[in-house]
């Protein structure tokens, strides 16, 4: 008997076996109270020694002063069982564990070990995300999935970063569900994040702008209704072009981190790319000065609202690459 997810062969029951100091209260309303499966990453790089459930439990108990580890379930890509990342069952799902503040009672915390600003989601990890998701859904545990930073009050959090929706669909390679005709703006949304709900090859920011004349892309308000209905057809999309090496793109993007004070060809590449997508950096002079920093900040405020620091890094690069692509470059 019991739940389907508990019978996954890669699941390892660690309930009660991790460092703890007392235990969490039960959820008000029991397991039925769970509406949302919340996806996290541990923000600790996979190759670090402390990237394991014991270390997380220790940290949550000793440093945060919580009774137990924060996540009910932890997926560990470092431990692969039969082509699947191990899933540690850490806190009974009937208990209200701490991971999303005021939303804990109705949220189930699932963490994938790794820092996906740097790490890459492995196939065994995606397989376990998909299988765990499908089993939980079949068990009726939760009705929807969200990343940590889609939860109220956490828009600033760099969690989960990895594409949990893609991972959830990994097994079927299935398309995300059909979009409703309109969408109500939630806290932390940008046109970019709304467009992403349709998957990377679906609606673009440009589609949304065209479908919503008069909209202010930088001033979305919570509760504002965005028209999605005709968006897919509003912008003429080019068929997928074959993949080219990055160097043959018109605006190749530099790897690594660039910030104020940096100089050189990489800065020039960044400036050209920003200029191409209308975030004017001033002169294309290879100097990361105040104007370039400001352009990066403006770009981030539209596309990476939880990461507006004026520093060009991997996340900014990924978004910039996608925006260039959406403009046909």
Which residues are near Zn ion by CB under 5 A? Answer: 40, 148, 159
Q: Report d(CA 112, CA 267) in Å as an integer.
A: 34
Q: What is the DSSP string of 11-70?
A: EEE-TTTS--SS-PPBPTTGGGG--EEEEEE-SS-TTSTT-SHHHHHHIIIIIS--SS-S
Phi-psi region of 99 (alpha: psi -120 to 50; beta: other; left: phi over 0): alpha
Least distance from Zn ion to the Cβ atom of residue 15, Å: 21
Q: Which is nearer to Zn ion, 30 or 101 (CB)?
A: 101
Give the helix/strand (H/E) hosting 298. Answer: helix 290-303
Alpha helices in 123-203 (DSSP H): 123-139, 164-168, 191-196
Q: Which is nearer to Zn ion, 102 or 182 (CB)?
A: 102
Least distance from Zn ion to the Cβ atom of residue 240, Å: 33
Would you tell me the crossing angle of helices 265-276 and 314-326 to the nearest 10 degrees? Answer: 40
For the CA atoms of 261, 265, 266, 267, what is the dihedral angle to 10 degrees?
40
Least distance from Zn ion to the Cβ atom of residue 72, Å: 13
324: nearest Cα among 264, 258, 251: 251
Q: Which is nearer to Zn ion, 39 or 251 (CB)?
A: 39
Q: Report d(CA 213, CA 162) in Å as an integer.
A: 32
Q: Which is nearer to Zn ion, 116 or 312 (CB)?
A: 116
Least distance from Zn ion to the Cβ atom of residue 159, Å: 3
The tokens of 297 are what? 């900040």
Least distance from Zn ion to the Cβ atom of residue 309, Å: 19
Q: How far is CA 328 from CA 127, 237, 239, 259, in A?
A: 33, 9, 10, 27
In 10 A of CB 278, how many CB atoms? 11
Q: Which is nearer to Zn ion, 157 or 298 (CB)?
A: 157
Q: Which is nearer to Zn ion, 93 or 191 (CB)?
A: 93
Q: Which is nearer to Zn ion, 129 or 226 (CB)?
A: 129
């Amino acid at each position: 008997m019991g739940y389907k997810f508990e019978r996954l062969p890669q699941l390892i029951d660690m309930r009660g076996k991790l460092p703890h100091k007392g235990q969490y209260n039960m959820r008000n309303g029991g397991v039925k109270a769970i509406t949302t499966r919340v996806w996290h990453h541990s923000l600790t790089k996979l190759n670090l020694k402390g990237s394991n459930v014991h270390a997380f439990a220790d940290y949550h108990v000793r440093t945060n002063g919580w009774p137990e580890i924060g996540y009910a379930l932890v997926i560990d890509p470092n431990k692969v069982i039969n082509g699947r990342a191990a899933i540690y069952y850490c806190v009974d799902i009937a208990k209200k564990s701490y991971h999303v503040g005021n939303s804990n009672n109705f949220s189930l915390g699932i963490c994938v070990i790794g820092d996906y600003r740097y790490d890459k989601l492995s196939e065994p990890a995606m397989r376990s995300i998909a299988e765990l998701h499908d089993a939980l859904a079949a068990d009726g545990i939760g009705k929807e999935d969200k990343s940590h930073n889609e939860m109220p009050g956490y828009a600033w959090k760099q969690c989960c970063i990895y594409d949990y929706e893609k991972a959830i669909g990994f097994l079927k390679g299935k398309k995300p569900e059909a979009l409703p005709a309109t969408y109500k703006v939630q806290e932390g949304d940008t046109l970019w994040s709304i467009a992403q709900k349709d998957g990377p090859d679906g609606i673009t920011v440009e589609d949304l702008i065209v479908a919503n004349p008069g909209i202010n892309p930088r001033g979305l308000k919570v509760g504002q209704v965005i028209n999605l209905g005709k968006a897919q057809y509003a912008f003429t999309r080019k068929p997928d072009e074959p993949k080219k090496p990055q160097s043959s793109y018109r605006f190749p993007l530099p790897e690594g981190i660039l910030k104020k004070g940096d100089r050189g060809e990489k800065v020039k590449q960044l400036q050209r790319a920003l200029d191409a997508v209308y975030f004017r950096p001033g002169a294309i002079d290879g100097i990361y000065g105040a104007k370039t920093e400001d352009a990066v900040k403006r770009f981030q405020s539209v596309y990476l609202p939880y990461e507006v620091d004026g520093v060009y890094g991997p996340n900014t690069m990924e978004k910039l690459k996608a925006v260039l692509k959406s403009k046909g470059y």
